[in-house]
Amino acid sequence: MYGPIGHGFGLLAGVLGAIVWAIGMFIVLAILIVLVVLLARFLWVATKAAQRYLELNGSPAPRTRTTAPAATTTAPAATKPTTTATTPASAKPSTTATTPTTPTTSTKPVAKPKTPKPPTA
């Protein structure tokens, strides 16, 4: 089987070779498990980030939540003021509370770049 000269490396070398092979396979298995865990973590975080991006910047279809959302710390949206019975019918309701104020800034138009003068000889 191994030729006319001998029978492989012998019993001790065969056992040591099997131990080295087992340790090497354990290391390869550990590396593969770490890579799969890192890939799954990356995909989980990327999916959450993509969902958050779509929530902030507009989503074609809003996703449904599986759990109730936590208490929000943002203020509720401004609503249209309602008229009460004590307010005369001819009085106009104030719209300053519902109209968001935007700061007006005047910006100068961007100046055109000057063309460099050709060098004189």
52-74 tens-digit pLDDT: 988 888 766 666 667 766 665 66
Each domain of the chain, given as residue ranges in start order, spans 31-62
Rounded CA separation 80/99 (Å): 10
- Residue the block writes with tokens 């492989």: 8
Over range 7-31, report the average pLDDT.
Answer: 90
Over range 41-62, report the average pLDDT.
Answer: 86
72-83 tens-digit pLDDT: 566 555 666 555
CA distances from 73 to 14, 53, 70, 76 (A): 68, 19, 9, 9
**DSSP states of 43-63:** HHHHHHHHHHHHHHH--SSPP
End-to-end CA distance of the chain: 91
